[in-house]
Structure 1
Amino acid sequence: MKPCEPLIISNESGYNFQAVGSIPIAHAWRMIVRDHKQVFGREPLQTEEEAAIIIRYAQEEDDCPQWPEGYCLRFVAGEKGTVLHIIGRDELGIIYGLLHYSRFVLGVEPFWFWAELSPTRRDAIVLPSQDYDSAPSKVRYRGWFVNDEVCLIGWKDDYPPTEQVWEPVFEALLRCGGNMVIPGTDLPRTGIHHKLAAEMGLWITHHHAEPLGAEMFLRVFPGKQASYKEHPELFEQLWQEAIERQKGEKIVWVLSFRGQGDKPFWENDPSFNTPEKRGQLISYVVCKQYSMICEFVEQPVCSMAMYGEIAELYKQGHIEVPEGVIKIWADNGYGKMVSRRHGNLNHRVPALPEVGDEGKNGVYYHVTFHDLQASNHLTQFPSSAELIVDELTAAFAAGADEYLLVNSGNILPHLYTLDLAANLWTYGNVDAEQQLTDFIGRLYSRQHQEIFQLYRDYSRCTIVYGPHKDDRAGEEFYHHPARQMMGFWLQGKEGSDERLCWAAGEGPFPEQVRWFKEKAESAISGWVELRKRCLRIMKQLPEDECRRLYNQLLVQIELHLSGSRGLADICIAYGLFLEEDYPRAFVQASHAVWSYQMGKEALLLAGTGRWEHFYWADWLTNLDNTISHADTVRRFLRIQGDSPDMFLWYKQYVMPETEKHIYLENTHRKPLPDDELARCLEKVLY
């Protein structure tokens, strides 16, 4: 067969859109219309005659890949020149074919919206006529759990979030090759999130605390005991309603039974006091849910979270899983496939299917996490990319490759690790250094090696708080433990703070504070150096790329630097308080306020333009709360030595010696504000 001539695509190229009748494909087509306009300056021409590009379903002679979601590109010589056929085996196949064209022909970055990276304007694109066949992804069901998404919630005025918020999320997921999503956590069912995700072609799955996507029992039946033993008919009513509501959609049904508020059910039903009783009820409920689904859905896709106590009961042999149900294993929130830490308990039980475990298995994996201890919510994964690669490839090797759900948080701070996860669910393995090289090359036009080294050194700067490879701290380490310490201190408690034992041990409170102080102080120099390098690189980048590096990396470095300084400052203030050196303790607590405020200022600077108000709903790390705590501490310290007139320290340390004996109180008794007094005292005392 004579090879086709290269295809020249321009603003005059016509598209013949034959895959009509599908709402998800229509969504994808609107993406292509926008992409084409960004590249060529005007929307594409739609025509049935002399089209340069045809979008259609596969026919037998196309030899299109046979698997679900398969697609291909075929170049055909026409009377007016070469024609490109974008061909899909099914609905998602066409969508992925269109997005392949968008990325590799039009040059649209998968994270174009989140990285603020528009495609290059072109007059024409010369496309070699080389047929292309898609390969099956390593993981069949793959996607994001948009969890701990408060920044998305607070970004715009409307609640629940509107299409304006959700569409860029789902579009980025599709462009990363994802096909499944949990669209948010416990949002009102009046919101558009579920409907829009389905309309964009994604499979919907559920939070393990909301089996089958049903309403929470106590939300529908307030005042009743949330006990399946007492009210089986009410639980089953909720499940039935959820099944009927979603039976026509693409659903990966989650079978589960946990208590209200995502905790073991027996905490509210103590009659289930043995592993056998607990496992028996869970097995019965899961079997009941599965049979109810099968009444309405032919060959349903079902999963069951092997999470927390359920994984433990399953490994002990107390839970039976229906045949064909995908068992989902979870990491500990810090990237390691072991059981997560609960308070001070950290058993680190392996969380993977054992050798010989039959059936299908998958993984729920965190690249972002929120646990009130040391997790990363506003900053990227604190350990190395190699840890992610090692853990997920090991999970795949153990047979957990049917399903991969990645906790994506609020998307914006996590593009690097979400891109890494997408490569893993697509190919099964990846060279971490090569992936980072590719990622940086897509987002920046220069200084590639320098930016590469910033990303590599980021995880080397994070605080190591324990003996394991994954014991590295995200930014919440500087805030939740700090607020706990400040509360324990001001409440006048003695002994050790049980909430800090997971990190600092069970020693007396002053020793716990000293442990956090040493950890925080040890991190400061690394973050200072990384910040200097980042600022130096930004000066050599174009304005848009400088802004991108700020939003993607420098703001996170600022959160770590300001956080480590603030944590160290408040610990030092406590030590001075024990010595009854209240003026210096006041100054040090003021430094804590100023340090934490620097992190807040960094977020405010990042929250401009497209991201205006994005960090407004920082309710999880909650910098404002930490600043308020630190400010309360310094006011408490000032009362120890400067009360009642708040003038004593000024007189003792600041007022000129000659004035102390002749001033008139009626003209010199105005108390200085805390910030001003602290800066005056610092000049004298340090």
Structure 2
Amino acid sequence: MLSGVASAASRATDPGAYISFSPKAGAFSLIGAPVVVSRDDHPGVVRVAGDLRDDIERVTGVRPGDALAREVVLVGTIGRSPLIDGLIASGKLDVTGVRGRWETSLQTVVERPMAGVDRAFVVAGSDPRGTIFGAYDVSYGIGVSPWYWWDDVAPMRRDAVYVRPGRFSQGTPAVKYRGVFINDENPALGTWAPAYFGPGKAPGFPGGFNADFYARVFEVLLRLKANYLWPAVWGRAFAEDDPHNHARAKEYGIVMGTSHEAPMMRGIEEWNRHAVPAVRDADGEVVTPGHDPYGGTGEWSFRRNADAIKAYWRDGIRRMVDQDFEGVVTLGMRGNGDTSLPDGDGVELMREIIETQRGILKEVTGRPLAEIPQVWTLYKEVQRYWDRGLRAPDDVTVVLTDDNWGNIRKHPDPAAPPRPGGYGLYYHFDYVGVGRNYKWVDTTSLPNLWDQLHQAHAYGNHGLWMVNVGDLKGNELPTQFFMDYAWDPGRLDVDDIPAWEQRYARQHFGAAQAQAIAGVLATYGQLQSRRKPELLNRRITLAGSQVVYDDQATPFYGRELEQVTEEWRGLAKDAERIGKRLPAGAQDAWYELVGYEVLATANVYALREAEFTNLRYAAQGRAATNDLAAVAEAALQRDFAFADRFNSQVAGGKWRGFQTQPHIDYGDVERYGPNAPWQQPERNNVALPDVLFPAVERIDVPSAAELGVAVGGGPEEGTVLALSPYRTGPAPSIEVFNRGRAPFDYRVAASVPWITLDVPRGRVDQQVRVTPKVDWSKAPGGRTEAEVTVRGAGTSVTVPVVAENTSPRGLRGFVEADGYVAVDAEHHTRAVGTWRRIDRIGRTGAGMTPWPVTAPRQTPGRKGSPRLEYEVSLLKPGPVTVWAYLSPRNPALPTGGLRYALSFDDDVPQSVDIHAATGADDGLMNPQWARNTSDNVNVTSTRHAIARAGAHRLTFWMVDPTVVLQRLVIDTGGLRPTYLGPPESHRIR
């Protein structure tokens, strides 16, 4: 049974909060105190006592002994440790609120616990994992990072380490099973692990991961207070790759499972290595016979090869019984290779499969089924079975999933009767599939992650949480956050995220730079949430129901990419400056946890900016075209250099081969085949140092000078200079460029005196940017047309100018300029009802969501209905379109859709079903869904008639909870295409 567990009665604390580095009255000194454990305890507890000794030595330089002394650390499990049980029996140790609970620990100092011992610091667990988590909590408190080995984090040396007097517990975890799925591990982990730990032990499969590798995985999971693992799958078989793998998991106290596609404790690779499937014609007749070890046809098909499949499953459960390891059994069946079943998706077939599997479980184990932890994961197409009415037996945990891009697809129905097996969650930090693989660096937004985990917990999902971490290394920050939240959601509210980021930074780099590092990590997360780096070389468009991959265009428009790249450059400079302030012993950890992902991603943006500007310049014949080609190629070489530093220099080459994940030349169908729009290239970019996709261009630049002029401002390019006193963002500008090699003199002049130019004359080698300035006190009121003339190289170009000089009288709120009004969600004039601001969840700012997330559906337009009101000023009457930028949530509630409503002034609100409006379908993973998730926003629109110019009230009405509003943009007729949306409008208060 995988139900949630209540918190312990003991005093809950932040991890390690009972540790002090200065003496306190009654405190217990850890320096010099032996760490003692009973050999009768669980092997994992005996082992963790050794880790605690190692950790104390890492911090203090003094290694603890393991024999009783006057002052001693006692580590043990209630009911398994004679040391702990003796203290309880003598009345020295009160385990109220701990005994009998799940994975709960107690840390306390006991006076005169036994003969010959004056004081003991006791770490007592309700069960073996409770003890293990309690011991590792001490390690965390004294300054040892859970990632000390995985990221070469050297703890700060301390001359004094004390335990405060009192009674401390981290409580009982809110989520019972908490784990990671190591997945999509090629090429990075699959290259590094066999080279570092030695090859797998299955004959003919040297790429397998052995028990020494998994020991390091198990340790970091336990240090994170995780207890559960789905092992690596692609080309790997946990049980076969090392016969000691399951025994090592048992020794450490890790619960083993298998992924959503691998039922009955058997990885799919175990089948693939030993079975050759029969080949059939269109009529289903066997053309080429197949075989498997069970005398079947070799097909992964329950319809055509049921007897062999059943025998295969029976062996998986028998192995679990014979080896006596703790496991959670996956039920159901998916197609081989993480696809839908080749047998079709009939409900009766899936019901038969699950009933068959449970029959095998009961037969082989001899135990009541309710005592065997089981899960059925509604991944991708499997959710359709549930939607069609198929229900798993009540003792089975039903694992709901995200859409592979961090947006949960379904929550438990609050109106449904409770299920003893409860619900679980399968979530992604890493993915292979449409719209594009994302496997390279951490791209998780902590505010978005918080929102989704909060929703899951609020709707009663707390039986089992699993997250796909890819290679694990590289996703340290979100993995630690995920586990911290799963342990105690009440300790991690959305407003606590900045403090959590500072604790994370302090744990790895010390207090001096913790705030600055946390700021870099926060900004990094928001910039990454705009778009995955792998997706920077295409703009997705739609043609009917088909996605068109325009691989010759960046997803950003005009100067928008320039602005975004500059933000990344600024972040990289901040990161480098902070890194230089850290001591030498922190440099490896800095590069692994912060430096590489920031610097390398910023460099990819610089590469893309040069690459796509080069393509645009080539079309315009600019003299700067070839220089930008060289800039892009130099950035590609820097990308290789960043990876080489990680592979060859960090930690003395410990991570050689780890940074091998392709992330630049996606999309080349000619080179990589029909899946190239989303699938990674088959070989690493380093093998192709002279290739960029799309390829940069070089042009023949004539010797004679030739004038060229381009008009742009903000994210757009155009032919008209649009000027307004209420314009925001970068000023519109004129680029005076050369199409030849010879430089020339230029002059720029306006046709009216109230327009001046910042650099009205000069000399152009390749190009110069000229920005107009307007004296609005002298400009005529209303709309005025003028001209700016550019002369040079014996010719001239005239640029039209339109100036809108509207009097501020009667204008309030956000004012129209350039044909639009843009408002960020958090800048409402009035909020009715309860709303929650989630900082940094938007691509450009915060988001607003109705609160609580479990609130019932509302009827918009009623008095008191929850709503956000925005004051805006429009310059003319007429039709407008309002675009709502929303986080790309799925209709996860049983209300039939996900809705909001919009209105102006006292008009009747227009209700929008977000997914019906766009056609996005997470179940089918269709083109519109691929666009929304790739863009990380769902943009929908409503049309309105504005009867008069002036101030208006725009109202965003709550209909359903879980909707997150990021921005509202009113198109009054001049809105130009952008990726992030136009800059927020000028506000008159």
Taking a change above 3 Å as real, the CA distance of residues 164 and 653 of structure 1, as seen in their structure-2 partners, is: farther
Amino acid at match of 1:140: K
Deviation at 1:233, TM superposition (A): 0.6
Deviation at 1:67, TM superposition (A): 0.7
Deviation at 1:234, TM superposition (A): 1.0
Encode CA deviations 1:162-198: one digit per residue, 9 max, x unaligned: 4554333221211111111112224242235544333
Match of 2:478 among 394, 417, 437: 417
Matched, 1:391 2:445: no
Residue number in structure 2 paired with 1:72 = 106
Q: Which protein is richer in strand relative to its size?
A: 2
Task: Report the structure number with the largest CA radius of gyration.
Answer: 2
Residue number in structure 2 paired with 1:595 = 635
Question: 1: CA distance between counterparts of 2:693 and 2:552?
Answer: 20
Q: Please, which runs of 5 or more residues in structure 1 have no aligned partner?
A: 339-350, 465-472, 486-496, 642-648, 655-680
Taking a change above 3 Å as real, the CA distance of residues 123 and 310 of structure 1, as seen in their structure-2 partners, is: same
Match of 1:475 among 533, 540, 545: 533
Question: 1: CA distance between counterparts of 2:216 and 2:703?
Answer: 57
Deviation at 1:8, TM superposition (A): 3.0
Residue number in structure 2 paired with 1:17 = 37
Amino acid at match of 2:515: Q
Match of 1:455 among 505, 508, 521: 521
Residue number in structure 1 paired with 2:140 = 103
Matched, 1:47 2:67: yes
Deviation at 1:72, TM superposition (A): 1.8
Report if the CA contact (8 A) 1:376-1:382 is conserved. Answer: no
Residue number in structure 2 paired with 1:199 = 251
Residue number in structure 1 paired with 2:274 = 220
Residue number in structure 2 paired with 1:441 = 506
Report if the CA contact (8 A) 1:463-1:520 is conserved. Answer: no
Amino acid at match of 1:332: D
Give the alignment's TM-score, normalised by structure 2: 0.55
Taking a change above 3 Å as real, the CA distance of residues 616 and 590 of structure 1, as seen in their structure-2 partners, is: farther
Taking a change above 3 Å as real, the CA distance of residues 17 and 447 of structure 1, as seen in their structure-2 partners, is: closer
Deviation at 1:611, TM superposition (A): 7.0
Question: 2: CA distance between counterparts of 1:39 and 1:176?
Answer: 19
Residue number in structure 1 paired with 2:826 = none
Report if the CA contact (8 A) 2:646-2:659 is conserved. Answer: no
Deviation at 1:399, TM superposition (A): 1.3
Report if the CA contact (8 A) 2:183-2:233 is conserved. Answer: yes
Match of 1:426 among 483, 487, 502: 487
Counterpart of 1:98 in 2: which secondary structure?
helix
Amino acid at match of 2:376: M
Amino acid at match of 1:540: R
Taking a change above 3 Å as real, the CA distance of residues 554 and 63 of structure 1, as seen in their structure-2 partners, is: same
Structure-to-structure mapping, 1:151-230, within 5 angstroms: 151-156=188-193, 157=195, 158-159=198-199, 160-186=208-234, 187-188=236-237, 189-191=240-242, 193-216=245-268, 217-224=271-278, 225-230=299-304
Matched, 1:240 2:314: yes
Match of 1:288 among 326, 349, 356: 356
Deviation at 1:462, TM superposition (A): 3.1
Question: 2: CA distance between counterparts of 1:506 and 1:578?
Answer: 28
Question: 2: CA distance between counterparts of 1:240 and 1:164?
Answer: 28
Identity of aligned residues (%): 18
Report if the CA contact (8 A) 1:521-1:564 is conserved. Answer: no
Question: 2: CA distance between counterparts of 1:509 and 1:190?
Answer: 40
Amino acid at match of 2:499: Q
Match of 2:339 among 259, 263, 267: 263
Question: 2: CA distance between counterparts of 1:235 and 1:400?
Answer: 32
Taking a change above 3 Å as real, the CA distance of residues 75 and 371 of structure 1, as seen in their structure-2 partners, is: same
Matched, 1:279 2:347: yes
Amino acid at match of 1:53: V
Question: 2: CA distance between counterparts of 1:53 and 1:213?
Answer: 39
Taking a change above 3 Å as real, the CA distance of residues 209 and 628 of structure 1, as seen in their structure-2 partners, is: same
Question: 1: CA distance between counterparts of 2:590 and 2:436?
Answer: 24
Report if the CA contact (8 A) 2:542-2:548 is conserved. Answer: no
CA RMSD of aligned residues (A): 3.6
Structure-to-structure mapping, 1:615-630, within 5 angstroms: 616-618=657-659, 620-622=661-663, 625-626=684-685
Matched, 1:302 2:342: no
Give the alignment's TM-score, normalised by structure 1: 0.78
Counterpart of 1:363 in 2: which secondary structure?
strand
Deviation at 1:146, TM superposition (A): 1.8
Taking a change above 3 Å as real, the CA distance of residues 240 and 563 of structure 1, as seen in their structure-2 partners, is: same
Question: 1: CA distance between counterparts of 2:382 and 2:529?
Answer: 32
Residue number in structure 1 paired with 2:57 = 37
Question: 1: CA distance between counterparts of 2:461 and 2:515?
Answer: 35
Taking a change above 3 Å as real, the CA distance of residues 584 and 194 of structure 1, as seen in their structure-2 partners, is: farther
Encode CA deviations 1:573-625: one digit per residue, 9 max, x unaligned: 5556667x699766655443322222221122233233726362555435574
Match of 1:251 among 320, 327, 348: 327
Report if the CA contact (8 A) 2:615-2:696 is conserved. Answer: no
Question: 1: CA distance between counterparts of 2:439 and 2:253?
Answer: 28
Report if the CA contact (8 A) 1:155-1:615 is conserved. Answer: yes
Deviation at 1:557, TM superposition (A): 1.9
Taking a change above 3 Å as real, the CA distance of residues 235 and 513 of structure 1, as seen in their structure-2 partners, is: same
Moved more, 151-160 or 285-294: 151-160
Deviation at 1:365, TM superposition (A): 1.6
Residue number in structure 2 paired with 1:560 = 601
Question: 2: CA distance between counterparts of 1:250 and 1:395?
Answer: 26
Taking a change above 3 Å as real, the CA distance of residues 387 and 63 of structure 1, as seen in their structure-2 partners, is: same
Counterpart of 2:475 in 1: which secondary structure?
helix
Q: Which protein is richer in helix relative to its size?
A: 1
Encode CA deviations 1:255-310: one digit per residue, 9 max, x unaligned: 121111110113xx4xx3xx5xx222112112211221222333110011111111
Taking a change above 3 Å as real, the CA distance of residues 82 and 233 of structure 1, as seen in their structure-2 partners, is: same
Counterpart of 2:478 in 1: which secondary structure?
helix
Moved more, 285-294 or 388-397: 285-294
Matched, 1:148 2:184: yes
